[in-house]
Every structure is written in structure tokens, then in C-alpha cells.
Amino acid sequence: MLNTTNNRFWETKSLKELSKEEWEMLCDGCGLCCLHRLQGEEEDAPILTTRVVCRCYDLQNGGCSNYPERFKLVEECTQLTIDRAAEFDWLPPTCAYRLRYHNQPLPSWHPLNSGIQSSVKPYSVFSLSPVLETENIDLEDFLIS
Ligand code: SF4
Ligand code: SF4
């Protein structure tokens, strides 16, 4: 959702101070949090990212194909809330919630800064040749980091 006011809340407010609407607007829609990740058994094993996107992702138009029902449809889908902000380091480094949690500015291509939703595209799942999750897919074949 683009900001239509002159209120640059994302620069002046902390995550805790955001209204529900502002919290939602902070998401740039990159879809990188919808990619499957793998982690070894060891406690400090790194989290590896794949280019396999959740089965509910809409690869045609971008975004979740059923946002209101996402937690019912996909058990692993994680709700990002302020209470869980300390766990945000699994998110991509460009994620707006992670950046603001660490008091970092949003990039110029973030739709709130650019005023254009499509400016996120080169930084989104679409830049990674994403593959939709299927039943027998081997995630290890699609590791990107
Ligand atoms: S990674 Fe962050 S900014 Fe990108 S879609 Fe997910 S929550 Fe939104
Ligand atoms: S259910 Fe929707 S929001 Fe959740 S990971 Fe899948 S595509 Fe993303």
C-alpha cells in the first residue's frame, strides 16, 4: 500500500510507535520472506535461503494468493509482530521490518520512498528466478545462499 500523505512515519517513528495501518504499509512486498529456508540441526547452523517460494505465493502478480487465510493454509507462515522483532534476523537484510528494528533507513527503492510499487521488483523474489513449491521438490537443489 502506498503512502498518500506527507507523513514520513517510517523515518520518524520506531516500530513500536507504528499504527496497524503504518505497520502494514512498511512491508515493501518483496516476497523474500516467502522463500523456503533450510537450517542444519546444530544450534548455530546458518540459515540457507532457496529460490523456492511458498506454494501460496502468486507468481503471476506477486504477493500472497490468500493473505487473510495464510496462517490456516501454511503452518510455517510467520506473522511479523513487534513482539517478535528480536527474531527478525532470519528476514532478508533488505526487509523493512529488519532495517527499522535496527534503526536503519529504508532504501530509495522502497515504495514508501519511491512512490511507485514496481520499484521493488529488482529486489524482490522476481529477481531470483523463483520456483513454486511442489510436493516432491528437493529444496537443496535450489539453494541461493
Ligand atoms: S521480506 Fe519484509 S518487506 Fe519483504 S515482503 Fe517480507 S515482510 Fe515485507
Ligand atoms: S502463506 Fe502467503 S504470506 Fe505466508 S509464506 Fe506463503 S505466500 Fe508468503
Please check whether residue 75 lies inside any domain of the structure.
Answer: yes
What is the C-alpha to C-alpha distance for residues 97 and 123, in angstroms, rounded to an integer? Answer: 15
Residue with cell 522463500: 35
Q: pLDDT, tens digit, for every residue of 5-46? A: 668 999 999 999 999 999 999 999 999 999 999 988 888 888
21: containing domain: 9-142
Please check whether residue 98 lies inside any domain of the structure.
Answer: yes
Q: pLDDT, tens digit, for every residue of 88-112? A: 888 999 999 999 999 999 999 999 9
| Atom from ligand 2 closest to the CA of residue 58 | 7
Please check whether residue 56 lies inside any domain of the structure.
Answer: yes
Please check whether residue 2 lies inside any domain of the structure.
Answer: no
Please check whether residue 88 lies inside any domain of the structure.
Answer: yes
Out of 10, 77, 95, 126, mutate this one to test ligand 1's pocket (max ligand atoms within 8 Å of CB): namely 95
Residue 109 beta carbon below 6 angstroms from any ligand 2 atom:
no
What is the domain count for the chain?
1
Please check whether residue 17 lies inside any domain of the structure.
Answer: yes
Q: Which numbered ligand comes closest to the C-alpha of 76?
A: 2
pTM for the full predicted model: 0.92
Please check whether residue 1 lies inside any domain of the structure.
Answer: no
- Sheet strand arrangement including 47-53: 35-39, 47-53, 131-132
